Homo-oligomer: A and B are copies of this chain.
Amino acid sequence: MKPTARAPEISETSVRVNYSETDQMGVVYHARYLVWLDVARTEHLRLAGMSYRELEEAGLRLAVSEVAVRYRRPARYDDRIRIRCWVRDLASRRIDFGYAIEREEDGTLLATACDDRVVRVWSSGLPPVSHA
């Protein structure tokens, strides 16, 4: 029973592969998957009522301590990609996220991933805005 839960336990975020993400093998370059994890985690937090932008402005951040990706099938240019994201484990100063990356068209699982984030505190929030 979770009567107060408002956020989905597994969130879904969509991206479309753009040309800059491909490499000369004709597939998405593997480091780009980490950016998708980042996008999905931000949306997951937003659905849970937390804006990462506001967290940062309040002087907090989630610093990555570990990331692991298992690649199963390539993603290709113009594919729509769905990233499922969930919290695998939660401790006082650490969150462990899980991810599944799928091709939206046919639901093929392209990759699975997880990353460990550590909560950090800044002394004074975000950098000051520059004067033009």
- Is B132 a contact of A128 with CB atoms below 8 Å? no
- Is A22 a contact of B23 with CB atoms below 8 Å? yes
A99 CB to nearest B CB, Å: 14
A interface secondary structure, majority: mixed
Contacting residues of chain A (30-87) with chain B, CB-CB under 8 angstroms: 30-32, 34-35, 38-39, 42, 51-53, 56, 61, 63-71, 77-78
Minimal Cβ-Cβ distance residue in B for A70: B66
Task: Give the number of residues in A that approach B within 8 Å (Cβ atoms).
Answer: 47
Q: Which A residues lie at the B interface, using CB under 8 A?
A: 16, 18-20, 22-27, 29-32, 34-35, 38-39, 42, 51-53, 56, 61, 63-71, 77-78, 120-124, 126-132
